[in-house]
Amino acid sequence: MQEQLQAHVRTMQDHQDLVTVLGDVVEVFTKVTANYAPGLFYTYDVPGVPPTNNALEQCFGSVRWHERRATGRTAVPGLVVRGPVRVLAAVVSHSQCWCVQALQLHNTQAWHHLRDQLAARHEQHRLQFRFRKDPLAYLAATEDILFKATLPP
């Protein structure tokens, strides 16, 4: 496949003078192709890697569609704050049925780590909301904290 692409690019370069109406399209295409070439053929080199990410895109699209349908909103802020948990729950719930034993908590450390990550993400979201609500007050409070931290005791 890589050789075929290179052959097509060479053919385009050879006939570049025939498409002067389009300007430097062939040069731009050649440059962009050369930049992306190392990653274009990765799926052919590594066994087990799918050639496209269409299935993954469909999966995430399905999650977004269900979130929009359930909330009635086009942008669902919950996916930003609690994205990993909600996406994982949506994907897994479509693929299998869960029994009570499967829902029991086995690894409390991993659960606490995930809760900490979610709390940190929620705090970031809350601070962004504070900034959008009143930027001057937020910046003044931040400056006060910084000045107190730099002043000697």
| DSSP structure string for 120-137 | HHHHHHHHHHHHHH-HHH
Under a CB-based contact definition with an 8 Å cutoff, are residues 59 and 91 in contact?
yes
Within a domain: residue 71?
Answer: no
**Residue 24 belongs to domain spanning:** 2-45
Q: 51 is written with which tokens?
A: 């050639």
Within a domain: residue 59?
Answer: no
Residue 119 CA to residue 128 CA, distance in Å, equals 14
pLDDT by residue for the chain (153 residues), tens digit each?
788 888 988 888 888 887 777 778 888 888 988 888 877 777 777 777 777 778 778 877 877 787 788 778 777 666 655 666 677 777 776 666 667 776 677 888 988 998 898 888 888 888 888 888 888 988 998 898 888 877 776
Same domain, 86 and 133: yes
Q: How many domains is the chain built from?
A: 2
Same domain, 145 and 81: yes
Same domain, 31 and 93: no
Same domain, 85 and 146: yes
113 vs 24, 70, 85, 90, 151, CA distance in Å? 52, 28, 12, 21, 35
Q: Look at residues 88, 77, 87 and name the one whose alpha carbon lies nearest to residue 129.
A: 77
